Amino acid sequence: MNHYSRRSFLHNAALGSAALLGTPLLRCTASRRASLPNVVIIFTDDQGYADVGCYGAQDIDTPHLDRMAREGVRFTDFYVAQPVCGASRAALLTGCYPNRIGLLGAPSPQATHGIHADEMTMAELLKQNAYRTAIYGKWHLGHHPPFLPTRNGFDEYLGLPYSNDMWPGHPEVGDRFPPLPLIENEKTIESNPDQSQLTTRYTERAVRFIKRNKARPFFLYVAHSMPHVPLFVSNKFKGQSKRGLYGDVIMEIDWSVGEILQALETHGLSEKTLVIFSSDNGPWLSYGDHGGSAGPLREGKGTVWEGGVRVPCMMRWPGALPAQSVCRQPCMTIDLFPSIAEITGAGLPTHPIDGRSIWPLMKGDSAAAPPHQALYFFWERQLQALRSGRWKLHLPHRYRSMQGQTAGSGGVPGKYVQKETGLELYDLEVDPGESHDVATEHPEEVARLLAIAGMINEELGDNERPGKGCRPAGQI
């Protein structure tokens, strides 16, 4: 079956299942399209939990992000599915744990795999209702033609196919990488582009896309390449932050958010547009002054400690979401896919996904039930931790740490040390920094969480065995 026919099959299957299950799928008539909300997701790269004013940043000004929090919902316990670039994005766009769909880690330019044609992306979900779709920024779900955004539901694409450090300028392993391509749709238009202009270029494209599609529903995914190292910023923000270059970069991202919000206001779209802001994982701590901050949270990117997997998240939709509200329920990026399906009336795919709709939480329903029995944190194929309510259980595993190490500076990283953790339990309501193991004090919670861990290992596998619910990645 060719790529197009597989996509058509998935589309028709979703429509059919929605009808059979009584889902309020909206017909794509002109009048119905006019009532559908727009969806904007702004996703940054390696931005730490405490790199936004409303999450505790003291030395970086983020007025537009803080405005989003004032005018909408701020999530205090929002997570990514894996604390690394590609896997995190796969979860966001499919509603699945990366292990379920075979997209782990951060694929390099030498990788031959990518998102499978049978998976449904958020763009394809919204195509059911004739949305216009665009991504400007980092993709990282496969750089070969079958895996590119334009083969996976997006009408437009401008950006980098993988991380901006996968280029000859890498300070340690630059000789491994070919020139960094800037791709428009499916064509490389520049090699080793001027990265100081990427945030501006993505933003300008986003603003033009909003203007062109103001009369029809659209899905806009702005996946900034920054603040992933190497850091670059345009001249208009250079030297503007008390935090040095990293702070300058965050301020430019905040400016970008402001430009998008202003474009929505200019075209009278604010009250019919859901805007979501988040990050793909925690800060890259080994880079020191070129990395972000997790604030009180432990560790950072590449670990399943809170600093690696808990990220800032704000949502704004005037008239639909309550202003100045805070959600403290644990949620994850995988929940955005089914939430947007519920909001727009789109049919979910027939294959299993892992996310659950958090639309009631977004609306401020204080009586809403927790969406998950537990959230799971894998590193590659190994389940390393899970959270259920206030409790987080770490399973024995090795992890990289910067505790006690000298962080890097000027774009050159420091060295991690390898550490090990045993079976440890933390009460995140009183100890979000995971500093006091209470496993011996709550053996019943340890036993309960171990039983849940065993069930998810059956479904999604581990280092020793494949899971019965796993699907393969695409291969060229």
Give the active site residues: 85, 140
Strands (E), 284-437: 310-316, 325-327, 331-332, 375-379, 382-388, 391-394, 397-401, 417-421, 424-427
What end-to-end distance do the CA atoms of the chain give, in Å?
Answer: 15
Give, to the nearest 10 degrees, the angle between helix 85-94 and helix 336-344: 30
Q: Give strand pairing partners of 379.
A: 382
- 3-state DSSP helix/strand/coil % of the chain, to nearest 5: 35, 20, 45
Residues 6+ apart with CB under 8 A from 294: 48, 49, 50, 282, 283, 285, 300, 306, 307, 308, 310
Strands (E), 290-390: 310-316, 325-327, 331-332, 375-379, 382-388
Alpha-carbon distance 8 to 4, whole Å? 6
421 and 393 Cβ atoms separated by less than 8 Å:
no
| Other CB atoms within 10 A of residue 28 CB | 14
